[in-house]
Amino acid sequence: MKTLITTLNAKYIHTSLAIRLLYVASYKEHDIDFKEYTIKDDLERVAKDIIEHNYDIVALSTYIWNVEHHKKLCALLKKMNPEIILILGGPEVTYEPAHFIEEFEIDYCMSGEGEQTFPQLLSQIENHEEIHVQGVSYKGNISNEVSCCDLRYVESLDSPYNLAEDEKDKGKRLLYFETSRGCPFQCQYCLSSLEHGLRFFSEEYLKKQLDIICHSKAKTIKILDRSFNADAKHAIKILDYIFKNYSEGQQYQFEINADVLQQSIIEFIRDNAPKGVLRFEVGIQSTYEPTNKAVKRIQNFKRLSEVVRELMTFENCDLHLDLIAGLPFETYERFQQSFDEVFAFHAKELQLGFLKLLRGTSLRTNAEDYGYIYQENSPYEMIKNKWMDEEDIKNIHIAEDMLEKYWNSGRFKKSLPEIMKNYSSAFQFFYQLGLYYNSRYPAIGYQLHDLFECLDTYTNYEYHDLLIQDYFPLHKTKPKRWYKPKLSKPRNEIIPELAQRYNLDVNLLFRYALIEEIDDQYMIIIYKDMRCRIEYYPK
């Protein structure tokens, strides 16, 4: 029987390691393909494409971001071909299979890791046998088991990281890599809290896969481990291999728990990490101890602060810090304090997320105890709880929008750090800026110069010159200004003077240059051959 393993990714640049692992586990014994679409693709066209390839079985890897799309896609596929066999797997369906068997037009639901169970299921379907596979549910037979694959079996498979189908666009998309499975922590809002134990792939296997990745076209490699530094020796071995073998332009992204980041790892990074190769995601979530205790995320914020600051002094790895709004016991006012305390690190990015009540998690099970009202359908985002009402959440969204547009975008490198020095609360700055922005500019369809004009007018032009210096390098051709140039002389007089004084090409300046006066200097911005070059000359 002809089988397709597929998924709807959130974006084209994303790739699914899960479907590739199922593919390498199955393709030697089954007629099987894998293909990816995105949630932005027209579902009618996706369904038609699948049907036109005459697949008998379609397996979909299901997550919080695509589950509702998968529901619609399954209905379309069954409508076009009632005989097609549909299988759902993935974290979204793992812990409540009965719901998906009843509510979705599917035949089977797989809970847990599928490298061993998926080929077994295909064989039993193809041989018209009665289905007896661990973690597989269907009408009349709901399994409460969650399959767990022996990692030695995964290691025996062909590599999912060098498939011929991926070579063409590998440099344009993210590559996901895992060195372990499971998580040593029990955060009650996370599906990883439902897994038992932490399992590591062998050093030999990991080096073999890393050798493939390091010498590939991949540029951004995201390590899926929930806590990369759970074992210091393991982490250092991985980092050492990457540092010695990475290709120019590659960046490896890891999720770490900073308060328990071992000093041996910190020192190894300090002494060996090439600049730009590392990016650490640090899940702080909250700085309020009662909140962290409630969700079983015990952390020492004092130690975490020391580690984050030490890592930032090295300047050889980027830091991405995470916060979650809406956790138990954290009021609107207390969340602002968490935000301000974490923003104070001035890390490259601060991601502000909103609590999602995921299927199977303890926080969802105990939602009534905390007064949670949340979205019925994915992403199950909280609407309110005992400590925050809908207005509070709305206000945090306003601040989050400005955080993304201004700080996390990296567009305001000179101006924003200086601006923030004059505000005691970073949260209030972004919130008030958001109110100002929303009253003057469109939520959709805004232009880049709108962002600069907004910040310039909001700060009463106090940082005007810094904003100018941030703005022009973001373009490859002459951009639209949001302000009137403030040259003290006409441009056609200044250019000959500069050309003569500093031995510059007058024709080049007239044709390609913009000129601004910044303090006691002339700022010359040259746009040529889709590149921007900036030079400064004293007046």
Per residue in 16-40, pLDDT (tens digit) is 999 999 999 999 999 999 999 999 9
On the question of pLDDT at 100 being above 90, the answer is: yes
DSSP 442-497: -SSS--HHHHHHHHHHHTTTTTHHHHHHHHGGG-SSPPPPSS----SS-HHHHHHH
The Cα-based distances of 225 to 12, 25, 92, 346, 515 in angstroms read 22, 21, 18, 25, 49
Half-sphere exposure of 478 (CA within 13 A, CB side): 10
Nearest to 328 by CA among 378, 380, 277, 290: 290
Location of structure tokens 């972004």: 430
pLDDT tens sequence across 465-508: 999 999 999 999 999 999 998 888 899 999 999 999 999 999 99
Residues 6+ apart with CB under 8 A from 432: none
Alpha helix (H) residue ranges in 279-323: 289-294, 301-314
Q: Which amino acid is at 364?
A: R
Nearest Cα to 526, choosing from 464, 115, 536? 536
The pLDDT score that the predictor gives to residue 184 is: 85
The answer, yes or no, to whether residue 147 has pLDDT greater than 90, is yes
Say if residue 84's pLDDT is above 90.
Answer: yes
pLDDT at 196 (0 to 100): 78
Predicted confidence (pLDDT) at residue 83 exceeds the cutoff of 90: yes
Beta strand 513-518 pairing with 382-384: unpaired
CA dist 196 and 70 (Å) reads 28
The closest alpha carbon to 104, from 112, 96, 114, belongs to 96
Contact 359, 378 (CB under 8 A): no
pLDDT for residue 442: 82
Residue 385 · residue 370 · CB < 8 Å: yes
> Phi and psi for 380 in degrees, rounded to 5?
60, 35
Tokens standing for residue 276 = 């730009």
Instruction: Indicate whether 45 pLDDT > 90.
Output: yes
Prior bond of 379 cis (ω within 30°): yes
Task: Quote the pLDDT of residue 298.
Answer: 86
State mean pLDDT over 313-333. Answer: 95
- What mean pLDDT is predicted for residues 58-64? 98
The pLDDT of residue 195: 82
**Once rounded to an integer, what is the mean pLDDT over residues 451-478?**
97
What CA–CA distance (Å, rounded) separates 27 from 5?
A: 11
pLDDT averaged over every residue in the chain: 96
Q: Which residues contact 504 (CB under 8 A, 6 or more apart)?
A: 498
What residue type is 8 in one-letter code?
Answer: L
Provide the pLDDT for residue 221: 98
pLDDT in tens, 350-370: 999 999 999 999 999 999 999
For range 334-359, the mean pLDDT? 97
pLDDT of residue 334: 98
Q: How confident is the model at residue 192 (pLDDT cuts 50, 70, 90)?
A: confident
Cβ–Cβ under 8 Å, residues 179 and 223: yes
Query: 3-state DSSP call for residue 411?
Result: coil
Chain Cα centroid distance, residue 313: 24
Q: Whole-prediction pTM value?
A: 0.93
- Domains of the chain are 3-137 (3.40.50.2300), 161-328 (3.20.20.70), 484-538 (no CATH)
pLDDT at 137 over 90: yes
pLDDT digits (tens, 9 = 90+) for 395-424: 999 999 999 999 999 999 999 999 999 999
Supply 9's token pair. 């990714």
pLDDT-above-70 percentage for the chain: 100
